[in-house]
């Protein structure tokens, strides 16, 4: 039983993280950049989103699959269409 719980724990944490962001495929964010990562450690939408969630004051992220680049933002200036990007923006509390 313990092994089953430990195996689904990472999945549950990703689902919780995803609830905090509104995901937009095919869009890239522009704004005040907090950090840019290009290592394989951040080379997926899920890994980029996880990185953004762990940092304080981050309101959005963009993962560019063409460049394997994760960019996290402190502010959002605009959102533009970009076929190779997936972005997530913090959903406002209701």
pLDDT in tens, 34-79: 999 999 999 999 999 999 999 999 999 999 999 999 999 999 999 9
pLDDT of 63 reads: 98
pLDDT of 6 reads: 42
pLDDT of 91 reads: 81
Q: Does domain 2-90 have CATH number 3.30.720.210?
A: no
Share of the chain above pLDDT 90, in %: 73
pLDDT of 14 reads: 42
Q: Is the pLDDT of residue 18 over 80?
A: no
How far is residue 57's CA from residue 94's CA, in Å, rounded to a whole number? 19
The DSSP line for 43-65 is -SHHHHHHHHHHSTT--EEEEET
How far is residue 50's CA from residue 18's CA, in Å, rounded to a whole number? 9
Q: Is the pLDDT of residue 94 over 60?
A: no
Q: Is the pLDDT of residue 7 over 70?
A: no
């Amino acid at each position: 039983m313990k092994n089953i719980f430990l195996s689904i724990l990472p999945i549950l944490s990703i689902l919780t993280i995803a609830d905090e962001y509104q995901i937009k495929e095919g869009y890239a964010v522009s704004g005040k950049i907090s950090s840019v990562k290009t290592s394989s450690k951040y080379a997926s939408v899920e890994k980029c989103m996880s990185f953004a969630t762990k940092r304080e004051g981050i309101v959005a992220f963009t993962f560019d699959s063409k460049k394997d680049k994760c960019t996290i933002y402190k502010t959002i200036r605009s959102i533009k269409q970009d076929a190779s990007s997936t972005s997530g923006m913090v959903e406002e509390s209701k």
